[in-house]
Structure 1
């Protein structure tokens, strides 16, 4: 039975070792235990049990003898990052942390979906009429239709509560080409994987809904893109999230990417903090972005803030990921609930913003959200809800458009903005670390975003400029994504790279 753990960790417990008087000495190597786990472990009884994720210096299977000696059994094995989940007592965790071959141990914490109880604002609808050109000539598909920038040929993964692909906008088999749910027996394919909350169905419609039930009026940002639903149900935790992301990694490797997966939308996370460079989610996100050139988009969170502390989702603060703040519906300000970073720690700021207030999108059938909204929305197919959960799929949809325009997009030579401060590495170390590079998709979004000037609602006064000369702040990052400008830059970049026919510029 999975142990349900508290969402918040109040303090860090920094000592050289963890030791306890238990009749037999148990000391742990604190450098191998996640800082977010220190206090919880220190306060526990030696026999208390935890669900943990252990990362090794080689595949987990090679450490079977060690685990057997300590009386441990693996549950989920994560081959791509040499990790495995298991249940262990405090005593076993401490002994494990000192064992040869063990790199890092973290607690499997529950995660939350970022939702409170659009496409026009960011310019997406205007780009749908842009034709694709080759040597100045319009390109047509096999049916004689002019190819347009609408995400066609690109697949976006929505890692969430699932997708109700019985919705007319999310047709199972054609629009939603894969729809899997994590059950006790493993990952199961089904038409409707969103049967409890409805959160994921709403997000999926914003990414790529085709608008069939509204005569096209409520299409998603990339209405031509395909969807791949990955449902962890309501019981989302770190291990299930990592397992899902590893599944995406395995299916999106270069030259082994049958669905052309290019972006993952993640409207979930945990309470504000810096990111953990050694955490399992960080490790798999970096592999997706740096090895497979798949963009990973995360919600900044719904904890508000005023810049005096870190409120942003730590997974949105991973340099390889794209962190998204929630703007007002019309893009004229930033929502008060949208999580802010610390004003003095730029690496905790969101990267960009997108509409996240009263966002209309696809309504799931017979779910918690459906039941709570139906009396007020009075629409069989759509509903309006708010949160950075709603802003994130807007950006995922924009990224799908960028990858259609420029399939060669990969990793940029630019590092995530950094101001250091207490708890961070020296700037020289940050700017020489390849795991602080941002993707080209993120760089384009930031460089072309519309900065929302103060005194607009929710925008702090101040004058900050990032490393590539763009205004930004701790509430909105570089500002509201501008689809038209971003796609134009992507098209120009792809043209420069393919002009001589060999793809290298």
Structure 2
């Protein structure tokens, strides 16, 4: 499939753990790709939206939501998520300035997607670049992969905040777990989300990622 797309003049990014290929193509090339043998579907790289509500359980503060789901009772039994890895596929995690999510002891890996398509997309040519995999388009080992919106840091805090900055008042659901931050950018598109899943599947054993 990759070679067929390259022969049509499209740019390609492969995935190592997903049976998908991402492409940069003109409308005519997209039509030709859709007609290739073995192609089951073609999707536009749409922007994804976050949905939520401002009332009920969605409006609870962290110190309220943890006891609401009885996570505090579970923590009192000594079950804190210790030894487990949790991947946060979102806008990133601030492990540099947030003491509840500190990198690299609590947020053990922190990565950010590379946005320059010329660095990640392969086009056919006289000396083509090596094909990139979706999991290859991230910069790793970043203390802070949260560059603006704060949504990923917020989600990470709900998940596993240590409570350091608030004397345990704002402690996450699983504070003993280790976090892997996957920053897909301030505006999330389907391709970058898929690349994030590709990274998670490739490294799930490295960080014992269970969720």
The question of a shared fold, defined as TM-score above 0.5 by the shorter chain, is answered with yes
Which of these residues, 249, 254, 261, is aligned with residue 209 of structure 2? 261
Asked if the contact 2:112/2:183 (under 8 Å) is kept, the reply is yes
For the structure 1 residues 105 and 177, does the alpha-carbon distance in structure 2 shift closer, same or farther, using more than 3 Å as the test? same
Name the counterpart of 2:107.
Answer: 176
The offset of 1:79, in angstroms, is 2.7
Q: Does 1:108 pair with 2:45? A: yes
The 5 Å alignment of 1:262-411 reads 262-263=210-211
- Residue number in structure 1 paired with 2:10: 72
Measured on the aligned residues, the alpha-carbon RMSD in Å equals 1.7
In the alignment, which residue of structure 1 is the partner of 2:128? none
Answer yes or no: is the 8 Å Cα contact 1:196–1:233 preserved in 2: no
For structure 1, list consecutive stretches of 5 or more residues without a partner in the other structure.
Answer: 1-59, 131-147, 264-505
Alignment of 1:440-451 (within 5 A): none
1:85 correspondence with 2:22: yes
CA 68–211 in structure 1, closer or farther in 2 if over 3 Å, else same: closer
Question: Which digits, 9 at most, give the CA deviation of each residue in 1:336-368, with x for residues without a partner?
Answer: xxxxxxxxxxxxxxxxxxxxxxxxxxxxxxxxx
Are 2:144 and 1:192 equivalent residues in the alignment? yes
After superposition, the Cα gap between the structure-2 partners of 1:170 and 1:69, relative to the gap in structure 1 and judged at 3 Å, is closer
- What is the deviation of 1:102? 2.1
Distance 1:79 1:103, change over 3 A: farther
For residues 215 and 262 of structure 1, the distance between their equivalents in structure 2, rounded to whole angstroms, comes to: 28
Aligned-partner SS, 1:201: helix
Structure holding more helix per residue: 2
Question: Does the alignment pair 1:125 with 2:72?
Answer: yes
Question: Where do 1:219-258 residues align within 5 Å?
Answer: 219-252=171-204, 257-258=205-206
Residue in structure 2 matched with residue 204 of structure 1 by the alignment: 156
Equivalenced residue count is: 179
Partners of 2:147 and 2:186 within 8 A in 1: no
Q: Secondary structure at the match of 2:76?
A: coil
Structure 2 residue 81 is matched with structure 1 residue 151: yes
> Where does structure 2 lack aligned partners over 5 or more consecutive residues?
55-64, 120-136
**Which residue does the alignment assign to 2:59?**
none
> Greater CA radius of gyration, 1 or 2?
1
SS in structure 1 at match of 2:25 = strand
SS in 2 for 1:178: strand
- 1:309 maps to what in 2? none
Deviation at 1:116, TM superposition (A): 6.4
Which fold has the larger relative contact order, with Cα–Cα distance below 8 Å and residues 6 or more apart in sequence? Answer: 2
Residues 10 and 26 of structure 2 are in contact (CA less than 8 Å); yes or no, is this contact kept in structure 1? no
Aligned residue in 2 for 1:320: none
Task: Give the distance between the partners of 2:25 and 2:198, measured in 1 at CA.
Answer: 23
Contact 1:155 1:226 in 2 (8 A): yes
Provide the secondary structure at the position in 2 that maps to 1:86.
Answer: strand
**CA contact 2:80–2:175 (8 Å) conserved in 1:** yes
Q: Relative to 1, partners in 2 of residues 1:69 and 1:192: Cα closer, same or farther, differing over 3 Å? A: closer
Q: Structure 2 length normalisation: TM-score?
A: 0.79
Inter-partner Cα distance in structure 2 for 1:217 and 1:68: 55
